[in-house]
């Protein structure tokens, strides 16, 4: 230990003391036990804490998969807090960020008694931008009354808010159209040239983060900061010694969206709106802003009209390797692009002529140049190690992305020569389907990292069963979802709800939900369907049936229980311990979408290096997704339940064995009778479900 009592990586004789201090936290009678009478020492948690402590002491990189129930949050937080080093923790979503910062962190800081400063830093779109709020209110460019009223409400709230965190504003829907008008993005923020810079909420949050010992961010912000650093703007995130990524399995897919080049209709429309607002406010009459911005807006919207009618309402990714995206007419595309480039050039000319009148114009000019640069980049041929596509839907977006996010973690390699964090820890409950965790480590370039798997403390053989019905139609046959739904009905009735059906497509979700609705309503079982309420509302309502007499905010419910039908976004991050959930049904094996441009480009790369896309990409991706879906069932040592996978390929095809091996070893059921018996065993005596 160093004199300060913290880890000192240069003093090897202190290493044993340091590991022993960390071990004491997790031991019977240790720090955690003192704060919780029900605490039980868990070998997996102790092992993981030891690995993290060693990585911090030795300044190395660690990739550690920690099975469900390990208690991984404390296992990485405790060594980080005790190390005395500056730490950055990044997790996948804002909700997890809040949970970590508001619940886990203060609890542990209290138990360990470490005097450290912590900070929560969110993305800039969470903080009120007073400059943009005022500029939209003063310019008169916002025509509709509804939006003007919303702006006035934000203005009233702003007078009372200290943090400017818009999630604190009562009644503000996070999807409200007013949010882009009162928040900034990296394109439109004026930075140090802003008249509100000194009182800016975002800048204050960043200053607080820069002076904290431990900062909690999310992966999106982490990558956004990387992008900003590249553009030379002031650093957003503090320089730290230790970086810990929780829910690290999401890093690669989030990263590729930030590390490439993008251009989208909302981005351009936002720029256009800001030009109009600034023009009318600071240079009215010097240019015909309304006409010029009207033309630009039309060319942005017209680009969408080039797309095939069938794609206009669907969110699809059209591969774009040649002159135009797949199934888009090259002539029409090139003419629309010409009009867009011309309209942008005309706006640039106007901005250039008055750029000295206000800092807004200088910034808008820079932004215009950056957008034109992206436009030009996307008109050049795509690089070999990149993939390009067009996302079509209610808006359009062009993406030119690297195939993986390795460049963001280059600094973790011992010979990188880059300054920055000395310890990198990556953890999640699911990081691959083999002991080397190749699925996770290879795309991120973490081949130098120590890799470890810490097993879940749950006894899956005892707590869970797996049933794969082999008499259902093949998953690609049209009748599959309906037949599966009909099988689910008696199971859900037997359990009085307590069932979650996870589908791989919205089509299957619709068919299954419709069939279940009719059958379950007459049995007093509530059907909860993704899309009918927000994710949080659905989960809260579902959890409430753990006490079947009381759901709906404490009022007596007429339903005995609930069945939740949801799709891809519920396959992970859903935690429902206890009796509220006893049956999880996965409609089929979650193979990746084959025509996704990123999947296709990665497959091509594998083929070029003599590997098999199916063995080396499709199967590991599927195994990880399957582990995540299956992981919804058993969430505590007391849970019991059954997992049904409605896809007979799992037992009939050779590759099924590899997928089965990736999942926890559960008891296998072999017939519908077995299934009924197992369900009967789950129905507890005290339940009022029958």
C-beta closer to ligand SF4: residue 278 or 598: 278
Backbone angles phi, psi at 62, to 5 degrees: -130, 135
Burial class (CB in 10 A: 0-12, 13-18, 19+), 192: exposed
Minimum distance between the CB of residue 169 and ligand SF4, rounded to whole angstroms? 16
* Burial 386-395, CB ≥16 within 10 A → b, else e: bbbbbbbbeb
Look at strands 555-556 and 550-551 and give their pairing: antiparallel
Q: d(Cα 116, Cα 471) in Å, to the nearest integer?
A: 59
3 state DSSP class of 192: helix
Q: How far is the CB of 199 from ligand SF4 (least distance, A)?
A: 8
Please state, in angstroms and rounded to a whole number, the distance separating the CA atoms of residues 357 and 369: 18
Least distance from ligand SF4 to the Cβ atom of residue 362, Å? 13
Report the nearest approach of ligand SF4 to the CB of residue 196 (Å): 4
For residues 13 and 334, what is the distance between their CA atoms, to the nearest angstrom? 68
554: three-class secondary structure by DSSP = coil
Least Å distance, CB 128 to ligand SF4, is 8
Q: Which is nearer to ligand SF4, 1 or 181 (CB)?
A: 181
Q: Given the complex with ligand SF4, which of 178 and 563 has the nearer CB atom?
A: 178
3-state secondary structure 444-481: CCCCCCEEEEECCCCCHHHHEEEECCCCCCCCCCCCHH
Neighbours of 208 (CB within 10 A): 16
Q: Which of 620, 464, 637 is nearest to 70 (CA)?
A: 637
Burial of 157 per CB tally in 10 Å (0-12, 13-18, 19+): middle
Give the tokens for residue 311: 């794609």
The nearest distance, CB 205 to ligand SF4, in angstroms, is: 10
Answer whether 456's CB lies under 8 Å from 664's CB.
yes
For the CB of residue 207, give the shortest distance to ligand SF4 in the complex, in Å. Answer: 12
Q: Using CA atoms, how far apart are residues 316 and 301, in angstroms rounded to an integer?
A: 18
Closest distance to ligand SF4 from the beta carbon of 142 (Å): 17
Give the angle subtended at the CA of 422 by the CAs of 421 and 424, to the nearest 5°: 80
Nearer of residues 366 and 438 to ligand SF4, judged by Cβ:
366
Closest distance of CB 572 from ligand SF4, Å: 32
Nearer to ligand SF4, 192 or 552 (CB): 192
Q: Which residues contact 618 (CB under 8 A, 6 or more apart)?
A: 591, 592
Residue with Cβ nearer ligand SF4 (203 or 628): 203
| 213 phi/psi in degrees, rounded to 5 | -85, -30
| β-pairing verdict for 316-319 and 386-392 | antiparallel
Closer to ligand SF4 by CB, 191 or 510: give it.
191
Sign of the C-alpha dihedral, residues 129, 167, 247, 33?
positive
CA distance 87 to 215: 6
If the CB atoms of residues 195 and 656 are measured against ligand SF4, the closer one turns out to be 195
- Closest approach of Cβ 189 to ligand SF4, in Å? 3
Least separation in angstroms between residue 286's CB and ligand SF4 is 23
Minimum CB distance to ligand SF4 smaller for 72 or for 124: 124
**Smallest separation (angstroms) from ligand SF4 to the CB of 352:** 21
Q: Output 191 or 308, the one with its CB closest to ligand SF4.
A: 191
Decide if 585 contacts 501 (C-beta within 8 A): yes
> Can you tell me the distance from the alpha carbon of 480 to that of 466, in angstroms, rounded to the nearest whole number?
19
- Which residue ranges make up the site for ligand SF4 (CB under 6 A)? 129-132, 184, 189-191, 194, 196-197, 200, 202-203
CB of 378 to ligand SF4, least distance (A): 27
Nearer to ligand SF4, 194 or 566 (CB): 194
Output 206 or 627, the one with its CB closest to ligand SF4. Answer: 206
Closer to ligand SF4 at the Cβ: 267 or 628? 267
**Residue 360 or residue 587: which is nearer to ligand SF4 going by CB?**
360
CA distance 606 to 326: 23
Whole-angstrom distance, CA of residue 368 vs CA of residue 358: 16
Name residue, tokens 């991706």: 621
**Tokens standing for 325?**
């995206």
CB of residue 164 vs ligand SF4: minimum separation in angstroms?
Answer: 9
Q: What are phi and psi of 357, to 5 degrees?
A: -70, -30
């Amino acid at each position: 230990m160093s004199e300060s009592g913290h880890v000192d990586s240069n003093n090897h004789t202190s290493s044993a003391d340091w590991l022993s201090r960390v071990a004491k936290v997790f031991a019977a009678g240790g720090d955690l036990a003192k704060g919780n009478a029900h605490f039980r020492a868990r070998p997996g948690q102790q092992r993981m804490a030891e690995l993290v402590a060693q990585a911090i002491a030795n300044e190395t990189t660690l990739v550690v998969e920690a099975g469900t129930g390990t208690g991984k949050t404390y296992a990485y937080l405790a060594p980080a807090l005790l190390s005395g080093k500056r730490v950055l923790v990044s997790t996948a979503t804002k909700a997890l960020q809040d949970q970590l910062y508001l619940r886990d962190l203060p609890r542990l800081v209290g138990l360990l008694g470490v005097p450290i400063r912590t900070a929560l830093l969110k993305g800039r779109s969470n903080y009120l931008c007073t400059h943009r709020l005022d500029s939209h209110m003063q310019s008169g460019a916002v025509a509709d009354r509804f939006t003007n009223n919303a702006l006035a409400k934000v203005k009233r709230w702003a007078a009372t808010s200290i943090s400017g965190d818009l999630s604190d504003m009562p009644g503000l829907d996070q999807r409200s159209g007013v949010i882009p008008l009162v928040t900034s993005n990296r394109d439109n923020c004026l930075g140090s040239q802003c008249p509100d810079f000194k009182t800016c909420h975002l800048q204050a949050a960043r200053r607080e983060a820069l002076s904290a010992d431990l900062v909690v961010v999310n992966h999106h912000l982490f990558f956004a900061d990387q992008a900003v650093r590249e553009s030379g703007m002031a650093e957003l995130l503090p320089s730290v010694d230790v970086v810990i990524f929780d829910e690290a399995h999401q890093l690669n897919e989030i990263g590729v969206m930030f590390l490439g080049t993008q251009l989208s209709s909302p981005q351009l429309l936002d720029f256009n709106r800001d030009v109009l607002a600034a023009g009318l406010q600071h240079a009215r009459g010097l240019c015909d802003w309304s006409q010029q911005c009207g033309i630009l807006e039309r060319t942005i919207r017209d680009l969408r009209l080039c797309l095939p009618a069938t794609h206009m309402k669907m969110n699809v990714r059209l591969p774009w390797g040649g002159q135009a995206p797949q199934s888009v007419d090259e002539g029409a595309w090139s003419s629309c692009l010409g009009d867009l480039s011309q309209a942008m050039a005309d706006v640039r000319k106007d901005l250039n002529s008055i750029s000295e009148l206000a800092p807004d114009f200088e910034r808008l000019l820079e932004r215009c140049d950056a957008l034109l640069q992206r436009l030009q980049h996307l008109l050049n041929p795509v690089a070999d190690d990149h993939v390009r596509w067009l996302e079509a839907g209610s808006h359009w977006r062009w993406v030119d992305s690297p195939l993986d996010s390795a460049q963001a973690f280059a600094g973790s390699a011992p010979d990188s020569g880059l300054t920055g964090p000395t310890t990198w820890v990556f953890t999640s409950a699911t990081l691959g389907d083999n002991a080397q965790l190749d699925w996770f480590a290879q795309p991120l370039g973490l081949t130098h990292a120590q890799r470890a798997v810490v097993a879940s403390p749950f006894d899956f053989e005892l707590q869970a069963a797996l049933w794969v019905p082999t008499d259902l139609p093949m998953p690609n046959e049209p009748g599959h979802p309906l037949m599966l739904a009909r099988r689910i009905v008696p199971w859900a009735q037997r359990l009085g709800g307590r069932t979650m059906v996870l589908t791989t497509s919205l089509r299957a979700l619709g068919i299954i939900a419709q069939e279940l609705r009719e059958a379950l309503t007459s049995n007093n079982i509530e059907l909860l369907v993704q899309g009918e309420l927000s994710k949080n509302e659905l989960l809260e309502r579902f959890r409430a049936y753990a006490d079947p007499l009381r759901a709906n905010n404490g009022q007596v419910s007429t339903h005995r229980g609930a069945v939740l039908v949801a799709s891809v976004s519920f396959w992970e991050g859903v935690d429902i311990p206890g009796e509220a959930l006893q049956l999880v049904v996965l409609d089929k094996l979650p193979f990746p979408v084959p025509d996704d441009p990123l999947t296709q480009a990665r497959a091509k790369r594998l083929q070029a290096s003599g590997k098999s896309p199916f063995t080396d990409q499709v199967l590991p991706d599927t195994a990880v997704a399957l582990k995540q879906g299956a992981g919804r069932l058993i969430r505590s040592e007391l849970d019991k339940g059954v997992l049904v996978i409605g896809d007979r390929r799992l037992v009939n095809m050779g590759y099924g064995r590899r997928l089965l091996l990736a999942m926890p070893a559960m008891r296998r059921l072999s017939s519908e009778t077995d299934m009924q018996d197992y369900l009967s065993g789950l129905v507890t005596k005290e339940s009022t479900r029958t």
